[in-house]
A = this chain, B = another copy of it.
Amino acid sequence: MPFIPIATTSLDGVTEQSFTVDDIPGVLWTPEHETGPRPLILMGHGGGLHKKAPGITARAARFAAEGGFAVAAIDAPNHGDRPRDEKFTRAAIDMRARLASGEDPATAVAGMHELLAGQAVADWQTVITAVQQLDQVGAGPVGYSGFSLGAGLGVPLVAAEPRIRAAVLGLLGVTGMAGTAVQVTVPVLFLLQWDDELVPRDQGLALFGALGSADKTLHANPGRHGQIPPLETGDALRFFVRHLGTPRG
């Protein structure tokens, strides 16, 4: 699983390195001109989005610049630059039809996450190993951040992968997740949107309740699914500094 570098650019003190590992397309952000090991934060994107969606790149750049972290994002299976398979295409059509008909989307969303989770967990495990061999990353503690689909794939990843020591998750309900959520035991910051049109409020609260972590905090804000307020990025950064440390002391 060689790390194959593609393109590198630097902006505002952050180096952005595109790569592939085993045909998985990814991006790595690190503080420019800083060497040596540092905590690695994995960022899982939302459904229908990709590794360089604006929400991902903005948060990644800030985590690298302000926290000194290495941040990696990859395209989820069937997303971004990756090929679509027939099973996914059928499931996506089915999910959109259910959403359009006004049905409770929880079961369809959970089915989609279940369809992708096995591959996504394996992808991330491969990418952690490859990225941590780089000098500017190293084998430090790992964090995970993901909302919506990024949480639906993140809960099974965090439950399965002992290198991950802390996670920011949210915009996800408990349907299909309760058994896996209880296996998450690392510190979690969980974000819930009070007026989420895709995740019923009681479903999101129930997923927070189901997490096995002794150290977990729920942050809830008014607004719809995609409207997490910007100040939560600062709270997430402080959360990762607290639990992963910072290379800057």
* A182 interface residue per 8 A CB criterion: no
Residues of B within 8 A of A222 (CB): 214, 216
Q: Considering only CB atoms, which chain B residue lies closest to A242 in the complex? A: B231
Q: From known contacts A194-B209, A205-B205, A235-B235, infer whether A219 and B221 are also in contact, taking CB-CB under 8 Å.
A: no
A217 touches which one: B214, B216, B220, B242 (CB < 8 A)?
B220
Given contacts A194-B209, A235-B235, contact A217 B217 (CB under 8 A): no
Q: Classify the secondary structure of A's interface with B.
A: mixed
Instruction: Determine how many copies of this chain the complex contains.
Output: 2
Q: Which of B220, B229, B231, B242 contacts A220 (CB 8 A)?
A: B220
Among residues of B, the one whose C-beta sits closest to the C-beta of A201 is B205
- Interfacial chain B residues near A219, Cβ < 8 Å: 217-219
- CA separation between A219 and B189, bound complex, in Å? 10
Q: Which residues from chain B contact A208 at a C-beta distance below 8 Å?
A: 220
Residues of B within 8 A of A242 (CB): 231
- Which chain B residues border A221 with CB–CB below 8 Å? 216-218
Could you tell me which residues of chain A, from 178 to 211, have a CB within 8 Å of some CB in chain B?
194, 205, 208-209
Taken together as a complex, chains A and B put the C-alpha atoms of A245 and B149 apart, in Å, by 37
Closest chain B residue to A192, Cβ basis: B218
A residues in contact (CB < 8 Å) with B: 194, 205, 208-209, 214, 216-222, 229, 231, 235, 242
Lowest 6 A-B CB distances belong to which pairs? A218-B220, A217-B221, A219-B219, A217-B219, A216-B222, A214-B222
List, sorted by A's number, 5 A–B pairs whose CB atoms are closer than 8 Å: A205-B205, A208-B220, A216-B221, A217-B221, A235-B235
